[in-house]
Structure 1
Amino acid sequence: MENLLYLYALVPASELEDTELPSLTGFDKKGSLYTVPIDDNITSIVCDLDGDEYSESVIENKIDNDMEWLQEKAFHHHETIETLYQNYTLIPLKFCTIYKTKDSLKSTIQDVEEKINATFDFLQDKEEWTLKLYTDDNKLKKEISKHNKNVEEKRRELDGMSKGKRFFAEKKIDTFVDTELENEKDRVGEALHQKIKALAVDYSIKKNWGRDVTGLKEEMVYNSVYLLPKDKVDAFLEIIDNEKNELPEEGWRIEATGPWPAYHFSSFN
């Protein structure tokens, strides 16, 4: 079988004229990355793969059954995109985007040429940043139980109650604390989002990851990604620092990471 093409990213052709493609090893650890021009404005960055060794059926089997291979190749893909991002405005492609021929690659890209050029313009001088908010529910619940005004009001209602009524009222307060805990998570996440949203040109609220994915004891309660103009990044980081200082040390953790290639704001079909 003839060689296949592994597509990493699309880059404005003019930027490759100004900055030479760095020397990078390909997906198979043998060949190197090189460029395939699509038209005067768009250039693809690819590497060759052996058609037998990396056929669709072989890759599907590897992904399903060989975790070590998957982790190694996914890391290679991510690191390669990261390196390219340091040099160019780029549209990163998904892991294992493979074409049979240069003609099929060019035809696919040319069909969405207008959208790709618009995306290049949109991404110029912008950065993708992720924001995740975690809570230690046990610690945060204690904090709310002690200092939440609504909980304090409920506790004052216990004064003068008989022992029997007080027992059931305290059980209701425990449930009320749980409700206030969830309300506080929503309040903090939404308030933080509104501040950052004002800086961003685009954003996406993502599904929270479970502890089995994060490997953390804390619960992820907010997960988002923002596309920020480069001149707004300092203001974004200042908001994060201020929020860390304002939130109680016990029970909260804010994690802001970036800049990343614009995975969430540059996809095309």
Structure 2
Amino acid sequence: MDCAGSARCGGAGLVRPDLDEDGMTNATYLYCLVRSARAPSLRGAPAGLPGAAPTRTIDAGGGLWLVAADAPLDRYGEKPIERGLQDLAWVSSVAVPHEAVVEHLAKIGTVVPMKLLTLFRSDERALEHVARQRKRIDRLLERIEGREEWGIRVLLDEVAALRRAREEAQTVSAGAPGAAFLLRKKKEHDAAREAIEHARDRADELFELLAAKADDARRRPPPPGEVGKRVLLDAAFLLPRRKARAFQAAVRASAKKLSGRDYQLTLSGPWPAYTFVADTEPK
């Protein structure tokens, strides 16, 4: 799992770590906030973080629930976390169960995912912090209620695209008089540059097309691609559940147009609104 390039490892920045570990053995770990008329059922919920206690709910009042667990500080204190963050395998070992809990709860109510490794000294500290942020949380819940996140990634097979551009340039410049070699090289260079620019333009057009069908859309910084593959677009779209089928159909139509042209389009989702809770300040 590539957390550096995945919004799913993110979440709302509403709750910050607040630990004074002296004399403590456990801290309150938060997975997410859930809006639900009654306590969300945890029957069948994933196990959660390795070494943590079973997942439980904390009533924040007004139909808002914290989904939490007791986390041992010998595994999730400041120093163990600092060491663990240097190890991608360790990060994956906590990120995967964290998001599994969040995604399970998203089937029950509207969910605000917490950032990975959000810890508080106690349940009371977590509740106090949420109470201070309550107006912002309620606005955020209104924004995402009844909606889900879908992800789009477009890759360009850069090697194949450049080879195709150079071959076309060679065909055009064949038989040119005079400095044919230099002319051909210039045409190849220009064709390669134009191929990349054209690919970026197509990705921009696709984003605008799909963004028009969503309530909100965000482009994310492209993660590193495979060798020879350029990530042209990495984006998230927030849309009402009732529009999901139409959105998927639009994506399939776009993928069909791009097929056979050195592009690879991938659709992922539905997810909780990871990307759209990360910026909690009102615009």
| CA deviation after TM superposition for structure 1 residue 216, in Å | 5.7
Alignment partner, residue 172 of structure 2: 155
257, 264, 272: which is aligned to 1:246? Answer: 257
Kindly report structure 1 stretches of 4+ aligned residues shifted beyond 4 Å. Answer: none
In structure 1, list runs of 5 or more residues that go unmatched: none
Amino acid at match of 1:194: E
SS at match of 1:4: strand
In the alignment, is the contact (CA less than 8 A) between 1:26 and 1:48 conserved in 2? no
Q: Which has the larger radius of gyration?
A: 1
209, 220, 225: which is aligned to 1:195? Answer: 209
Q: Relative to 1, partners in 2 of residues 1:92 and 1:30: Cα closer, same or farther, differing over 3 Å?
A: closer
Amino acid at match of 1:11: V
SS at match of 1:86: coil
| CA deviation after TM superposition for structure 1 residue 235, in Å | 2.0
Alignment partner, residue 237 of structure 2: 226
| CA deviation after TM superposition for structure 1 residue 61, in Å | 1.9
Amino acid at match of 1:46: A
Greater helix proportion: 1
Counterpart Cα distance in 2 of 1:160 and 1:108:
73
Q: Deviations over 1:201-223 (max 9, x none)?
A: 11111111113xxx464221111
- Within 5 Å, which residues of 2 pair with 1:129-144? 129-144=150-165
271, 274, 279: which is aligned to 1:260? Answer: 271
Alignment partner, residue 29 of structure 2: 6
Q: Relative to 1, partners in 2 of residues 1:169 and 1:46: Cα closer, same or farther, differing over 3 Å?
A: same
Alignment partner, residue 87 of structure 1: 108
| CA deviation after TM superposition for structure 1 residue 6, in Å | 0.4
Alignment partner, residue 48 of structure 1: 70
In structure 2, list runs of 5 or more residues that go unmatched: 1-23
SS at match of 1:225: strand
Q: Relative to 1, partners in 2 of residues 1:143 and 1:27: Cα closer, same or farther, differing over 3 Å?
A: same
In the alignment, is the contact (CA less than 8 A) between 1:62 and 1:69 conserved in 2? yes
| CA deviation after TM superposition for structure 1 residue 247, in Å | 2.1
- 89-98 or 172-181: bigger deviation: 172-181
Aligned-pair identity (%): 21
**Aligned-pair RMSD on alpha carbons?**
2.3
SS at match of 2:267: strand
Amino acid at match of 2:172: R
**Number of residue equivalences:** 256
| CA deviation after TM superposition for structure 1 residue 146, in Å | 5.8
| CA deviation after TM superposition for structure 1 residue 127, in Å | 1.1
In the alignment, is the contact (CA less than 8 A) between 2:156 and 2:262 conserved in 1? yes
Q: Does 1:125 align with 2:146?
A: yes
Amino acid at match of 2:120: Y
What TM-score do you get using the length of structure 1 for normalisation?
0.86
Counterpart Cα distance in 1 of 2:207 and 2:75:
46
